[in-house]
Structure 1
Amino acid sequence: MAEEPGKKKEGNPPPPLPGGLLKLPGLPPIPGIPGLPSAGQPPRPSLPGAPPSPSPMGQFPMGMVQQAMQNYPGMGGMGGMSPMQMQPIIIPITTQQAPAPAPPPAEAHVPAGPSPADLKIAELEKRLMEERERVLLATLKHKEESVVATRVENSIKDIQDKLRRDKRSAESEEARLKLEVRIQELEGRLAAERETWVATLKGQMKTSEVKDKEIETELTAKLHDLERRWLDEKARWQESLRAKEDELRSARAVLEKLKGVEVENQKLLQEKKFDQERLQQLTQANAGLQARAGTDDERDREFYRLQADLDKTREQLQLVHERSERELETQRSAFREREERLSSDVEKVQAELMSVADRLRAEHETELRRQKTEYEGDLKKARSQLEASDGAIQRMRAVCTALERQAASLREQAEEGRKLKDELQRVNERYKAEFMVLQRKWQDREETIRAQAAEQFAKQLDAEKAKLKLRAQEEIQARVLEMQQRLQDGMEAELATREQAFRTKVEAELSQQVQVLKNDVAKVERRAEDARRRTEHELGERGRAVQAKAEEVQRRSTQDSAKAFEVRDQALREAALLREEADALKQRLRSEEERKAAAAKERADERAARDKEKTAMLERVRALQEALESANARQQALGDGLERAGKRQEAQEIQARALAEEMESLRVHYAELGAASRTLREEKAWLEEELKSQKTRDEEALAAQKARLEDSLRAAQEETRKLKRRMELAQSEMEGRLRAMESELRKARGG
């Protein structure tokens, strides 16, 4: 893309600074000090319109001036001032250093074209425009494909509607034929079912008799079962009652035995206790007698004491006897109560047995009554069924007679059916030949129409594509020009403002310096000869220091220029990488478009083949329908004769089977067409999914590309900002150094 004239002007290198200092890109040159020529440049002429400086050559002898000029050969090229005016400034530089310093390296390394940041921005803008154009083309392609898909879908819907209509008509015809066949089958079944009805009625009568016998046997078995259950229950209750009575009797006997045993036990216990007490008393008495045998008094006292003990034991025995009597009385009352309770339990059990027996008897009677009523109802139902079957038999006999009469009439009309069959076969053959001719004509006509429609659609599509491409290119070009003009205007305005400000600043400083120098020239010239010898050595040292500083500045300028070149090389490398990525994306998009075009062509061929098959099948179906309609009209015209023909039904069945086979083949073709439509729908869905996925991939790629471009733009902007800051720092540093040098010069002049 060609650059604008403003950009070329912006990229031209400015003239170098005086004294071989660093050149600042984008800034106007700093004018030299009046009367001080730059290294490697011709002497600067005096300002236009200003009066020439008064030459003080008349104040000094001519020989002194010539000697000074011989000592300082670098002063010969100065114009507008005498050599003595700048003698203390130039002497150390020209005498102590090389006579002609090398030109600054910054001029050799600065490119004559636009800056790397501008090139990178222009390249990125160009890539952005290309990406936008690709996006517009992709959207246009997607719209075209969606239009084609809608048209294909509409055509498929039309074909499906037509197939449904044909299918409905074929189904109605098939239903009519099936109904006719069904009528014939029903007539045949009626004759067969006449005998089956008689057989079934006889079987029903037999089964009803068998059921009656089974019901009687079942009722008798149930009655016997109830009687047996009742007797078993009664025997069980009687056995339980007898067991309870036996248990009661055994309990009473055991109780009597227990009473006797308890009495005997009590007696034995009492006798044992009494014997033990008596034995103890006797042993004690014997021991006491043996111990107290010596004295009679003791014997008497022992006798009385024993007698008292005997009375006491008798009283105790009486108390024990009374207590045992009371305990026995309580046990007797408890046993009596237990006996009464057992007797009441026995009475309750007997009452329950009686109530159970009554309940079982009542249930048995109710069950017998229910079974009797059910038997009577079943008997009535069987009689009513028998009467109904008799009526049905009578009706079937009447139907059989009517059918026999119809069969006789149908036998008479068999010959007419055969004749009509032969005539229908001839008509069908003629219709088939006409159908084949019409089918070939329709196929040729359809192919020509389809080719014309496809050619017209392709032309319209190409025209729309060309219009859209032209419109997109015009829009992209307008946007690019607008952005370039906006950037150029902004940069020119910024440069103009900065240049004007710097020029005003420099001119003001220069005017001040010129005025100061003019005021100091007279003093310097009067003191020059005296100060020359005194300051020669000092100025030599300072000149060397200034030269060293100039070399340092030059070295830094070379480093800065090298860094600038590195930044430019990096930007160029990034631009090359981006260009390679763009080429790869273009190649990939081109291959994808070719693949899609090939797939679309294959699908179009398949659709064309399927459309041909569909049209052929539709024509065949239409011809068959026409043939069937004509046959139906023929059948309606000959309906009266067909109704009287019995054997004609066989011919119609044969024709119906043939038509059924043909309809089955048509149904198979319909199924194939349905499968083809399903494949078309699946292909359409696949295409839509592919378009969606491609759209998402393109959007993601565009977003990633846009993000990369924005990142690179941000990086370029950051680099430009860094360069600007670096340039501002260098400018401030150079201004500081210039001010320092001017202050040193002023000090030197003042000294």
Structure 2
Amino acid sequence: MPGAARPAPPMPGGASSFPFGSSAPRGAQRDAAAEEAARMKEDKDKLEKKISDMEHLLSQEKEKALLATLKSQQDEVLSSKVESSLKDIQDKLRRDRHEQEVAEERMGLKAKIKELETRLVQERETWMQTLRGQMQERESSSKDVENHFVYRLQEMERRWLEEKAQWQKSFVQKEEEVRSLKNSAERLREVQDELRLTGLDKIMLEKEIGRYKDEMARVERDRANADQYMRSLPEKERELANLRAEVTMAKMREERANSDFRAREEKTLADMSRLQREIGAIADRKNAEKDEELQKLQARYEAMLHEKENAVAQVSGEKIRAISELVKIKGFIGRVQAVNAALDKERSALRTEKMQMAQSMAAGIEETKKIKQELEHLKASRQADMDELAKKHQARIEQIKETYAADVTKTYSEKLARAGAESQEEKLALIKKYQDEMAAMAGAHQQELARLARTGQEEFARTAKARQEEDAMTARAHQQAVEALREELARSEHAHKEELAKLAQAGQEELARSERAHQQELAARQEEITRAARAHQDELARVRADAQGEKDNKIAEMRLKAENDLAEMAAAQKKRLDQDYTEQLEKLREAKLASEAAALKLESEALRLAEEVKNLDAILAKKQKEFMTAAAEAAGNRKNLEGKLSALSA
């Protein structure tokens, strides 16, 4: 049927719905339903009882609320009167207390300012004295180093002049030796010519003497022959035929002997001319070799002199560059120490007194001084702005202490803490940025020093221009740093003003909402705000002291680093000059040994040539002697034949 209840579906996994066996589960279900109905009825009774109790309590509370509202209205009327009188009394007490605190703070701040001024003057005097002592020690040490370098350079110049004089003296001696060798060679040639002439004269005289002797012998023989002829005239007639035959044979032998003699004479003359040509060629070749060796030696010596003069010029250039580098180092010391505020005028005065190059550096020093003064002025103005902002914060805190409620003071203290943290972070960021800029400037100075050291060794003429560019770059860097600081100060001041305006607006809005609700907790919150403000002031003072200490430490580290770098540069420069000096001395010693070896070689060559000339003279004398003996033999044979012919003809 449509209105009848449907049977419950069988449970999954249960027994099948057969008619038998289902009576026990149905009974258990009825018991559970009855228990559930009883329990629900009990809960319903309990809830109805609670609702009735709550309604009764609600009616009582409504009566109490009505009574409280009536009482509160009466209390409000009374409290408004009491609050007006209390507010007047509190305002008067607050004004008195505020005036007293302001007077006490003013006296304490004046005493602290005087104490800080005295300490600042004392520290400045001690710092000035220590810096004066350091400057005097550094200048004395740099002057000693400069004097040492000047003395070493003068000693090098003196030694070079002495060695140059010795080399010139040895060169003059070698020229004299070469000149003496040339003179001896000319004298040897003249002696050879004279010897040749004397040999020819001797030959002619010997020929004359032989001819006279032959004539005497011939006369004696003629006389003996005449006597013998007179005695042996008959025999001569017999021998006449034989003599005629012998004469013809003698003529033939004489012709052969004359032809042989002429051939030998021509051969001897050819040999003599060939030997003379060979001797002349050898002498010319040796003279040419000697002249060439002398020219080579002279060219080598001139090249050595030119090299030594170049070395002297290089050493003088190194001296000038070393002096210029010392001047640059001093200029860099001046530029690094010009960052300190106290020694600008004194160091510029010492520069003008001790160095003539201070005119080109005066503009840079004055410019850095102005930049330093501007930085100090900006720092002072920033400090004044920070003090003014702190005073504004303090006044604002006092105003908030007087007017704001508990929640407003709580939220404002949180915002004030955030603002203090942000201002602290900004201060730390500014201090870090200033330190980074100082470190960057120091690194730029170090890089500029290295660049000047490299470029100073290349071109001395560009030093003034590079120095001007460096000063301009430093001035631009300082100007950029000043502009960045100014912009940063303007941004931070603008941010502080905006934050203060936002805080004031938020405080006024929150004051309008929560002024009535939290008036009773104002005194406790005022004390907490006072403690927080004092803690904030102490934190600001500590941060300033830490920033000043870090700045002083950074400046001291930069100064120490600059001094160490300068000492290392001076040591490296000294080492390099010593190495150059030793290299120049080694080159001079090698050149001296080479020239001595060349001189010994020339002397040995001259001795060898003298030995060859002696050998050639001996060979020539031997040839001349052989020729004279052969000529004498031929002359004797001819005279004998002529005597025989004359005897036969007679």
TM-score, structure 1 as length reference: 0.30
Indicate the structure (1 or 2) with the bigger Cα radius of gyration.
Answer: 1
TM-score, structure 2 as length reference: 0.34
Which of structures 1 and 2 has the larger relative contact order (alpha carbons within 8 angstroms, sep 6+)?
Answer: 1
